[in-house]
Structure 1
Amino acid sequence: MRRYNDLAARDIDSCAPGAGAHTYTGLRIASIFIIMATSMFGAMFPVVSRRVAWMRTHVPSIVFQFAKYFGSGVIIATAFIHLLSPALTELQNDCLSPAWGEYPYALAICLCSIFMIFIVELVAFRWGTSVLAKLGIGHDAHGHGIPGGTHAAHGPEIAPNGPHAPAYPDADSLKDIESLSEKHDPSGNFSDSAIAQILGVAILEFGVLLHSVLIGLTLAVDPDFKVLFVVIIFHQMFEGLGVGSRLAYMQLPPQYNFVPVVGALLYGCTTPIGIAAGLGVRATYNPNTPTASIVSGVMDAFSSGILIYTGLVELMAHEFVFNKQMIEGSNRHLAFALICMMLGAGLMALLGKWA
């Protein structure tokens, strides 16, 4: 009975306004720079490797492919294990009003997020396609309906004008994104292909950045700092590898080559910013209060919808199902890509045991 009362009192205290943990202050401050370094490494390595001639020459191409598909698996596992699951827990916290437990609000927010991102992308591509149609350019943003089409193209195909002109070019005339972009806009202007890529990556980064800030805030005030610190180092590095691999494979006009670098730097800074903010408010911040649980749960649920949509639609479906190289390529390459993706998802899911 006494033990039960102690536990009940502890639960009540955890819900009351209070402060975060004040232990390991020096190491918590050092974690800002350590996690910044590991996050930057994960996000910048694929981006730099694709742009530095020496690394392109000396680093085997299989390393880039591994990073790309491994990162896709990491992003998918992050959505389910590191975002949606915590959101369910946070919005059913005992500190909250019983009304929060009467409906799966986290799943509803995730569902709304998926539809919101879908509608934003749909409207953007419809607008882009209508603009290109006025210019007499046939365009299928995701490669659907194109023989051998691939989502990676995200770009326009030049089609002859006239009532009897084919909707799309023959399969033999389809080329990769570089040739399509050059054919459409050799001057290097900001093409629809570039807009589509930046829109997709911006959606991905938005979901990841929200998650990263929350991770940093939690790390700054959590009593179980040491275990969480080690796990988050790997978590942020793997997640950075996923984001960086998507940034690295963007095909943009030369004057916009800074976009992937800015995206990688932005990712590397968000968790340290969250840690610094948490250290600044830990005298008054208690992550178990009702307000903190609601804010964290809603943001996690919203971010999970973004990453679920991006991971399942943009990374899995279009990288494999609608990708000509995967459909017509060798079984060895397909098996390699699947194993890399499942390895990334498996390792990231395993980290969910501790964080």
Structure 2
Amino acid sequence: MSDYTAEFVRDAETHQLYRRVNCGNGGGASSYTGLRIAALFIVMATSMFGALFPVVSRRVPWLHVPKFAFQIAKYFGSGVIIATAFIHLLDPAISSLGSSCLPSSWGEYPYALALCLISIFMIFLVEIAAFRWGSAVLAKAGVKYDPHGHGIPGGTHAAHGPESAPQSRGMDDKDSIQETGTGDVESLHKGEPTSPMAQVLGIAILEFGVLLHSVFVGLTLAITSNFKVLFVVIIFHQMFEGLGVGSRLAYMDLPPKYSYVPIVGGLLYGITTPVGIAAGLGVRASYNPHSTTTDIVGGIMDAFSAGILIYTGLVELMAHEFIFNKDMVEGSSKQLVFALTCMVAGAGLMALLGKWA
């Protein structure tokens, strides 16, 4: 046997040994069982606090939460979501789908990045279809829809909203109000019930990406051997991410019959990571976090979730809140710097947490 052949055989044997130790059947860590069970409830409490506190405090006047606190949470949370997409989802997806436990064909193409790209375009096409349909419905009702809020009298704090188009009826706003006899401008916004659809769609897309991520976070916490450090990091991770989601839920402008949507959204966020922890505790005797199946499933889910949050973060949060927001374009520089500082702080802190989780 030549030296080259012998070296090749040794490398193959080493690789097979590595696969048996790190990629075969196995189980998660069995230490800290009591604390892992307690983590289920602790993480649930912190997650729900982060997601529901903005919603509840905005609805309960006696809490006296100042308006600037909501603004801090809103922009800070946007930064958290953007950093989550790149640091906590896209990077793990690249690692998982590039794992040595996978067949060599997985290393011949950047599948994680491709799946992230597909996810971005899927969400983009879904939104286009939804807005085209919604705009057509509004147009039939005599309401001009502008997805950027341009031209709406008095400006807008929202990214989406209907714009009254009374000219189509051959009269101005004043004449329209007088015609109603009551001064009620509701007749100018017959398409208003469809505008919540855009808001619900946007928050649903955001939550879908976050929830998939949260389940895998919980699953990892239940079986990891590096439990204590990861537990502390995930408490802050889920609370900050919850504030980002909760601040968006709190600012949804919905009719009374849809008032339950923000509460349901906060509750869903609060229970997903505990569900992942419970599932991990149930299967940790047989679950192997380094197995081929785990790498493939986890990598695909992380890549898709990264695409969802990248699109949501860059388009729905950054672009709509800053570039297409009249208050930011024409408002004071102090307000703009404040909002940008909060967003950068959220992104920076969440990116720093990526060192441990």
Q: What TM-score do you get using the length of structure 1 for normalisation?
A: 0.89
Q: How does 1:315-354 map to 2 (within 5 A)?
A: 315-354=317-356
> Measured at CA, do residues 182 and 345 of structure 1 come closer, stay the same or move farther in structure 2, by a change above 3 Å?
farther
Q: How does 1:219-258 map to 2 (within 5 A)?
A: 219-258=221-260
Residue 74 of structure 2 corresponds to 68
Is residue 151–residue 322 contact of structure 1 (8 Å, CA) maintained in 2?
Answer: no
Is residue 112–residue 299 contact of structure 2 (8 Å, CA) maintained in 1?
Answer: yes
In the alignment, the residues of structure 1 paired with residue 26 and residue 323 of structure 2 have an alpha-carbon distance, to the nearest angstrom, of 51
2:88 is aligned with 1:82: yes
**CA offset at residue 115 of structure 1?**
0.4
Residue 270 of structure 1 corresponds to 272
Is residue 84–residue 304 contact of structure 1 (8 Å, CA) maintained in 2?
Answer: yes
Is residue 157–residue 180 contact of structure 1 (8 Å, CA) maintained in 2?
Answer: no
**CA offset at residue 49 of structure 1?**
1.1
Residue 199 of structure 2 corresponds to 197
Is residue 83–residue 304 contact of structure 1 (8 Å, CA) maintained in 2?
Answer: yes
Is residue 210–residue 303 contact of structure 1 (8 Å, CA) maintained in 2?
Answer: yes
Residue 51 of structure 2 corresponds to 43
**CA offset at residue 157 of structure 1?**
1.4
- Identity, % of aligned pairs? 70
Deviations 1:84-134 (A, max 9, x none): 000000000000000001100000000000000000010000001111111
Residue 174 of structure 1 corresponds to none
> Measured at CA, do residues 87 and 118 of structure 1 come closer, stay the same or move farther in structure 2, by a change above 3 Å?
same
In structure 2, stretches of 5+ residues that fail to align are 1-9, 173-183
In structure 1, stretches of 5+ residues that fail to align are 167-178
3-state SS of 1:286 partner: coil
Q: How does 1:1-355 map to 2 (within 5 A)?
A: 9-55=17-63, 58-143=64-149, 150=156, 152-162=158-168, 184=189, 191-355=193-357
> Measured at CA, do residues 332 and 47 of structure 1 come closer, stay the same or move farther in structure 2, by a change above 3 Å?
same
**CA offset at residue 8 of structure 1?**
7.4
Is residue 151–residue 163 contact of structure 2 (8 Å, CA) maintained in 1?
Answer: no
In the alignment, the residues of structure 1 paired with residue 38 and residue 187 of structure 2 have an alpha-carbon distance, to the nearest angstrom, of 47
> Measured at CA, do residues 151 and 66 of structure 1 come closer, stay the same or move farther in structure 2, by a change above 3 Å?
closer
Matching residue's letter, 2:102: L
> Measured at CA, do residues 190 and 321 of structure 1 come closer, stay the same or move farther in structure 2, by a change above 3 Å?
closer
3-state SS of 2:286 partner: coil
In the alignment, the residues of structure 2 paired with residue 343 and residue 208 of structure 1 have an alpha-carbon distance, to the nearest angstrom, of 20
**CA offset at residue 319 of structure 1?**
0.1
Is residue 51–residue 246 contact of structure 2 (8 Å, CA) maintained in 1?
Answer: yes
Matching residue's letter, 2:52: M
**CA offset at residue 64 of structure 1?**
0.8
In the alignment, the residues of structure 1 paired with residue 232 and residue 168 of structure 2 have an alpha-carbon distance, to the nearest angstrom, of 62
Deviations 1:253-295 (A, max 9, x none): 0121111011001100000000000100111110110000000
Residue 3 of structure 2 corresponds to none
Is residue 140–residue 156 contact of structure 1 (8 Å, CA) maintained in 2?
Answer: yes
In the alignment, the residues of structure 2 paired with residue 155 and residue 354 of structure 1 have an alpha-carbon distance, to the nearest angstrom, of 41
In the alignment, the residues of structure 2 paired with residue 318 and residue 61 of structure 1 have an alpha-carbon distance, to the nearest angstrom, of 20
| Alignment: residue pair count | 338
3-state SS of 2:289 partner: coil
3-state SS of 2:166 partner: coil
Q: What TM-score do you get using the length of structure 2 for normalisation?
A: 0.89
In the alignment, the residues of structure 2 paired with residue 32 and residue 10 of structure 1 have an alpha-carbon distance, to the nearest angstrom, of 33
Could you list the runs of 4 or more consecutive aligned residues of structure 1 that deviate by over 2 angstroms after TM superposition? 5-12, 141-151, 160-166, 179-183
Q: Which deviates more, 310-319 or 18-27?
A: 18-27
In the alignment, the residues of structure 1 paired with residue 223 and residue 127 of structure 2 have an alpha-carbon distance, to the nearest angstrom, of 37
Which has the larger Rg? 2
In the alignment, the residues of structure 1 paired with residue 108 and residue 155 of structure 2 have an alpha-carbon distance, to the nearest angstrom, of 46
Q: Which deviates more, 78-87 or 8-17?
A: 8-17
In the alignment, the residues of structure 2 paired with residue 137 and residue 143 of structure 1 have an alpha-carbon distance, to the nearest angstrom, of 13
**CA offset at residue 235 of structure 1?**
0.4
Residue 175 of structure 2 corresponds to none
**CA offset at residue 141 of structure 1?**
2.2
Residue 176 of structure 2 corresponds to none
> Measured at CA, do residues 61 and 151 of structure 1 come closer, stay the same or move farther in structure 2, by a change above 3 Å?
closer
